[in-house]
Structure 1
Amino acid sequence: MCLKRALTCILLLLSATVFSQSVIRINQLGYQPNGIKVAVWGTKENVVPAAFELIDSATKKVVFRHSTGKKFGAYGPFAHTLRLDFTKYKTSGVYFLRAGNAVSPSFKIHKDVYKGTADFTLRYMRQQQCGFNPYTKDSCHTHDGYTLYGPMPDSTRIDVVGGWHDASDYLQYSTTSANAAFHLLAAYRDFPNVFGDAHQANGLEGKNNIPDVLDAARWGMDWLKKMHPKDDWLFNQIADDRDHRGMRIPKEDTFYGRGFERPVYFCSGKPQMRKDLLNETKGVASTAGKFTGAFALGYKVFKDIDPDYAKSLYNKAFTAYEMGVKQPGVHQTASVVSPYIYAEDNYVDDMHLAAAELYSLTKQARYKNESLHFGRQEKITPWLGKDTAKHYQWYPFINVGHYALGKYNAANKKEMAGYYRQGIELVWKKAKNNAFYRGIPFIWCSNNLTTSFAIQCLWYKDLTNDTAYDELMQANLDWLFGCNPWGTSMVYGLPAWGDTPVDPHAAFSKIGNMPVDGGLVDGPVYTNIYKNLIGIRLVDEDEYADFQSDLAVYHDDYGDYSTNEPTMDGTASLIYLLAAMENQNQPVKKKP
């Protein structure tokens, strides 16, 4: 048990009587002066305060007092909940809230509360590097790999060294990596002035006159190029669930019967192994579309930085797209010893984005029309408004194509924004009934869905200038940084002074004693999901026991891979969201 965890447990024991009865949950990063500012009060008692106060931490003077407003009733572990809205107060400073006998932690109101957060979160992307890893200052998985399911003989040697490990295991997936690369590129495209330059291309410290976010994006793009080595070759993943033989610092693995080589699964468009079953692969387009989107955006971002490199991305964008056109359908991941896979069940959203990005490069009517065709087949991402979904069933959790086509083609902006609004409304119908404005299902990787939904609200606003969903968007962001029943940030080390994960399901922290700074953990799951997962056992006493409920659980515990494992793709999406928030108080300087 680490020192921080021990101290936390002591503090919790000392304050158990008050702490377990009434609490105020805040965004621990703080609040922007001109932004939405709401905290959530919850209690296990039956007394509900009629008013709350905002108090200056230095002077202890009340600077704002307001009624608590609508009673939201029970939620999770709480018998009663309230939204404490102090948006009208705009003076910068350090404050805390008081409602009844509950007092919040101190927090800032300042325009720079998000400053540096996107760059901080990039630390996790560098830690996930495969090939050369700047944290171990060594290389791993340098023998990847041997092919399976391809047009070449099985076990053909191919060089696919590089990219990112997917999570705290060392599998690598093309779909999550392409989505991550796209979000990093989009973050730079939309908010270039947010990012600094403190690292080299390989992730080691040192300036190279390239923003760190682009160094990270290029690390992923270089690997995607290797995974699409020929016009009609596309690979879907490296390694499989045989990887899950215990935590270890990344080096070389010998689990696959070919020495240090790992299997490289070809996008065959046909079902592949899934324990004693086959997965439900029907085509290639779900992977190919994501490749195209990343390659096309990569070309636009890099064309003035490295023209030759950008040209190689340009060509691969078109060849990947044609593979998707010729082989429509989803390509799911493969597993060997367990039933868990990324069970993606949609592809038209990926081809929608792909065609929109190609239209932005060529202005050819073909790509605009094909983007419309694909986009109208999935107007609303299917998980929106639902209570459950399979693992990664509707990936990447947001229809990025709607935003792309709306931005690139004014004639379709209103239509694309309308689809976003319909999806947001489905979530809002659920969210408006609870104090946390929570309308996201507690499925595996719920934090990834939360991040993507917040981005959808942002993109809707960008397309329409409609501010109707600002408070809903902010509630989802606040949730990630402590305004949730457990009162904890879901990002390792952010903020440094806050309650954040200290014992994630991660080898770097558990074995290597290295912080997994910036990693967004999976997030809470339905209690009934948690109880039925294989191989979960808490290592330490649950410091959040008072706030678990029949609805959902979250454990800051190494033994809980379902709620406390950081993920690379979720973190990449969060980088975009944090960059957007920081950019709100900086001059706009758009890149093409």
Structure 2
Amino acid sequence: MKKKRAAALISAMVFAGGIAGCSIEKAGTASVSYVQEVVERSSSSDKDDPADNNVVNDVATGTITGGENSGPDDSVALPESGTSIIDQNFDDGGNGHFSIYNNGGSCKISNQDNELAVDIQRCGDVDYGNQVYYDGFKLDKGAVYVLSFDLSSTVDRKVACRIQLNGGDYHAYFEDSIHAGAQMQHFEEEFTMEEDSDPAPRFCFNMGLMDDMSADPGDHTVRIDNVRLVAKDVSGATAGAGLPSYPDAVTSQIGFRPDDVKTVVVRNAEEGGSYSLINDKTGKVVYKGELGELRYDEAAQKRIRIGDFSGYKTRGIYHIHVITEAAVQDTPPFEIGNDIYDAMFRDTLRMLYEQRCGMKVKGQSSAFSHDSCHTGKALIYGTSKVIDVSGGWHDAGDYGRYVVSGAKTVADLLWAYRDYDVRSDELGIPESGNKIPDILDEARYELDWMLKMQDEETGGVYHKVTCKVFPETVGPVDETDQLIVSPVSTAATGDFAAVMAMASEIYRQIDPDFSKKAKAAAEKAFEYIRDTKDTAGFTNPEGIVTGEYPDHGTEDEILWAAVELYLAGDKDCAEVIRRRWNPDIMKMGLGWAKMTGYACGDLIRGAGSELKDVTETMKKNLLKDADELLEQTEKSAYGCSLGKNFSWGSNMTAANNGMLLELAADVTGDEKYRQAAHEQIGYLLGKNPLGYCFVTGYGTLSPINPHHRPSQLAGNAMKGMLVGGPNKSLEDPYAKAVLEGQPAGMCYVDNSQSYSTNEVAIYWNSPLIYLLAGK
């Protein structure tokens, strides 16, 4: 039987205060965006999950005793004086590694006569409406640089030249405006880098609507040539910091329940070593052991040894003292106790409350409180019609609201409530004390918003509501651009139908009126997609560059909707289930791009004999995938199920894998799956190659600079957020600059510029909420 979570569990907690995210922003004067069409990596074979870019802070170093430096040297070498940092003359016929970003403008670049030609069709509404940019260099504090280039334009106009922070407020280290005309002019200026060294700045030309333009000048061409940035004098410069030194000895920084398997993982112990469990209060050694056999971990590309102290079960606060031939070191303190996850469960769930839109929010501190935001009517794309779509959760580090990611989040909460009997009404949200479990109150806030996203006439569901572009680094009440509702999508409609059908069952006794409303909305949505042959994913309409959540096929969303409506009493959906279920191609995903796991998990556990043949193939596929995850978990020295697949949002994937393993345990009764699921929690909370507890505000070494606008503005991380984690693809400039050559499982940096490794999202928190609910 699964362990139930009693209401009293939460009441004893101490109140405390945390991609994808869904697309990627790129630098402008303040906030700019572009879309990278990548898809979430779920527990099966989904692609990488998108997030957006923004924010900046220094790399968190932490203080670690006896750890090896698993990254580059502690500092990055300075260039010699006179070195060219950028040197592009376009004589090779190429574009010199320059790229374009459009924010309301329109332009193209090409090489013409060995010059970079920027053909501008539209300037847009802001000075960075058209931007030509260059990434892939660094600036050192105190160094003197000379920037030079040649510039012309077929119309007289101003062009802004900037070397800027590539995230956060995108402020300039150097900027100037140049009046360009028909004659090619040479520009040259010296500047000193006064701020801290930056390993990933951006050099750009902004060619949008400038402050001296009364109207768009129309089609014209700007030409650029002989771009050079030279480190003129580095005698007074300070080299930038490299990656921190990571600990050799790691374990869960939160701890263990008395009967858990308890291990410490130690690298740099080629000749063996010993470990001692020490009571933090008394200083006494309470357990000793020798490190186990030498083994290799692919994710870290290191040989490691493991110490097992599962036999010790006495409650208390402890740390582990490790002695090897290389070093003497201590792990951070951790707890052994029955309620070790209670506070984290509360804060990871409360993170959703603090992401609420459309209402006044009282945050864990005043820095995370805000008045009602995004309450204006939203314009339906391509029409003059406006509708009220206030409410819901801000999706990630930005303030967009997306049906597909919201549906995944709600499904995780509903599963947690149903599977683990989460009854607490004392989590500290506005609805606490109303005699309804707070986890259902929180889910209901999103469900009420999703109902507003349904087209009343057709039953189809709008994909998302955002502004045209990502906001600047501002609080939620300060994003005041026109809200735009993007078109209906099959993915959003299927997900909507599924979670509304689920909700109609779960809220039947709690709120009968809402249950009926949810069921009717689910049925109407399902009729819109029941027989559709168009299963293509969503693509952003022209002019919208916020998160896309594109998907690459929506058969799984339609299947999920049919399953949940069937379980809610619509037996006619059995025929749709048989027609849509394809065991040969459908993987057991539990992410926004692959919802098959929810469909199969619920049907296996809830269907009668009518669909026994279908549920048997579903169970076979489920266990096949679960066995693969079990094998990867057992191969990993750190108990991680990811193998070498560290993609965007890898921490979410690890948590999703934990959910799938719990599902396998539930349908088989085999505890080996549940133990593997628990290993994913340990990995996320510190037993990983980096030694990070990836939940903000917890543990000794945890992220302090997440890619999350409210946290950036506050100067500290909101508590209880699961960050994205290692991403071997290095999909942002900061990651490229500092993580090149790192092993897959160590491609993470705690810097808010690194949106591809350090963003947060509601649907990254939700699978962790599910796992913690069962402990």
TM range (shorter): 0.7 to 0.9
Could you say which residue in structure 2 is the equivalent of 1:350?
557
Matches within 5 A, 1:111-510: 111-135=338-362, 136-148=369-381, 154-199=383-428, 203-204=429-430, 207-230=433-456, 231-239=458-466, 242-251=468-477, 253=479, 260-267=481-488, 284=490, 286-328=491-533, 329-334=535-540, 336=543, 341-362=548-569, 364=571, 366-377=572-583, 381=587, 394-396=593-595, 399-409=597-607, 411=609, 412=612, 415-440=617-642, 441-493=645-697, 495=698, 497-510=699-712
Counterparts of 2:692 and 2:720, CA distance in 1: 14
| Alignment pair present for 1:71 and 2:304 | no
Change (3 A) 1:22 1:170: closer
CA contact (8 A) 1:442 1:552 kept: no
Post-superposition CA distance 1:527-586 (Å, at most 9, x none): xx21x5357698xxx8xx8995465411111111111111011112221111112xxxxx
Deviation at 1:133, TM superposition (A): 3.8
Q: Match of 2:763?
A: 569
1:215-270, Cα deviation, whole Å (9 max, x unpaired):
21111001110111424332111126x4335221012545xxxxx43211121x5x
CA 1:195 to 1:84, structure 2 compared with 1: closer, same or farther past 3 Å? Answer: farther
Q: Which moved more, 1:307-316 or 1:87-96?
A: 87-96
For residues 391-441 of structure 1, give each alpha carbon's deviation from its aligned partner in whole angstroms, at most 9, with x where no partner exists: x78435x61111101110255465433322111223344443331233422
Q: Tell me how far 1:369 sits from its aligned partner.
A: 4.6
SS class of match (1:562): helix
Q: Does residue 11 of structure 1 match 2:63?
A: yes
> Is the partner of 2:653 in helix, strand or coil?
helix
**Deviation readout 1:276-303 (Å, 9 max, x if unpaired):** xxxxxxxx1x322211221112112222
Cα distance between partner residues in 2 of 1:522 and 1:215: 26
1:127–1:133 Cα contact (<8 Å) kept: no
Inter-partner Cα distance in structure 2 for 1:422 and 1:301: 30
Q: Distance in 2 between matches of 1:304 and 1:468?
A: 35
**Partner Cα distance (1:415, 1:166) in 2:** 34
**Which position in structure 1 is the counterpart of 2:249?**
24
Q: Which residue of 2 aligns with 1:578?
A: 772
The alpha-carbon distance between structure 1 residues 317 and 10, as it changes in their structure 2 partners (threshold 3 A), is closer
Matched residues, number: 526
Shift of residue 309 of structure 1? 1.5
Please say if residues 143 and 159 of structure 1, whose CA atoms lie closer than 8 Å, have aligned partners that are also in contact.
yes
Letter in structure 2 aligned against 1:503 = N
- Residue 278 (structure 1) aligns with: none
Q: Which residue of 1 aligns with 2:202?
A: none
Unpaired runs of 5+ in structure 2? 1-56, 71-244, 363-368
Three-state SS of the structure 2 residue aligned to 1:407 is: helix
Q: For residues 318-347 of structure 1, what are the alpha-carbon distances to aligned partners after superposition, in whole Å with 9 as ceiling and x for unaligned?
A: 111222213241432426476974231242
Cα deviation digits, residues 341-392 of structure 1 (max 9, x gap): 423124233233322222222162x3345335434446752779xxxxxxx7
Contact 1:356-1:405 at 8 Å conserved across structures: yes
Bigger Rg, structure 1 or 2? 2
Deviates more, 1:190-199 or 1:218-227: 190-199
Aligned-residue identity in percent: 25
Alpha-carbon offset, residue 204 of structure 1:
3.8
What RMSD over aligned residues (CA atoms) do the two structures have, in Å?
3.2
Go from structure 1 to structure 2 and tell me whether the alpha carbon gap of 1:378 and 1:266 turns closer, same or farther (over 3 Å shift).
Answer: farther
- Inter-partner Cα distance in structure 1 for 2:478 and 2:320: 51
Aligned AA (1:265): S
Matched residue of 1:80: which SS?
strand
Contact 1:330–1:346, Cα closer than 8 Å, also in 2: yes
8 Å contact kept, 1:54–1:64: yes
C-alpha displacement of 1:315: 0.5
**Partner in structure 2 of residue 280 of structure 1:** none
Residue 482 of structure 1: how far off its partner (Å): 0.9
Partners of 1:514 and 1:309 lie apart in 2 by 39
CA-to-partner distance for each residue in 1:39-67, whole Å, 9 max, x for gaps? 32222x64333x54433334444444444
1:195 deviates by 2.6
Q: Distance in 2 between matches of 1:449 and 1:139?
A: 33
The separation in 1 between residues aligned to 2:573 and 2:280, in whole angstroms, is 57
Change (3 A) 1:59 1:372: farther
* 1:559 aligned residue: 753
Change in CA separation of 1:97 and 1:129 when aligned onto 2, cut-off 3 Å: same
Equivalent AA in structure 2 for residue 367 of structure 1: C
1:96 aligns with 2:295: no
Q: Distance in 2 between matches of 1:537 and 1:204?
A: 42
Cα distance per residue 1:195-223 (max 9 Å; x no partner): 33344xxx548633332212211110011
Give SS of 1:96's match.
Answer: strand
* 2:463 counterpart SS class: strand
Distance of aligned partners of 1:6 and 1:561 in 2 relative to their CA distance in 1, 3 Å threshold: closer
* 2:332 is the counterpart of 1:105: yes
Q: Using a 3 Å threshold, how does the CA distance of structure 1 residues 223 and 355 change in structure 2: closer, same or farther?
A: same
Q: TM-score, normalised by structure 1?
A: 0.80
Match of 1:292, SS state, is helix
Shift of 1:95: 2.5
Of residues 330-339 and 460-469 in structure 1, the stretch that sits farther from structure 2 once superposed is: 330-339
- Range with bigger deviation, 407-416 or 474-483: 407-416
If asked which structure has higher relative contact order (CA below 8 Å, sep 6+), I would say 2
Shift of 1:484: 1.0
Cα 1:265–1:207, aligned 2, differ >3 Å: closer, same or farther? same
Q: Distance in 2 between matches of 1:78 and 1:235?
A: 45
User: Is the contact between residue 66 and residue 247 of structure 2 (CA under 8 Å) also seen in structure 1?
Assistant: no
Correspondence 1:533 to 2:732: yes
Amino acid at match of 1:468: K
Gapped runs of 5+ residues in structure 1? 255-259, 270-283, 385-391, 582-592
Pair 144,192 (structure 1): closer, same or farther in 2 beyond 3 Å: farther
User: Structure 1 residues 87 and 537, CA, compared in 2 at 3 Å: closer, same or farther?
Assistant: same
Structure 1 residue 138 displacement after superposition = 1.1
Q: 2:272 aligns with which of 48, 51, 55?
A: 48
2:61 and 2:735 mapped to 1: Cα distance?
22
- Give the conservation status (yes or no) of the 8 Å contact 2:453–2:462: yes
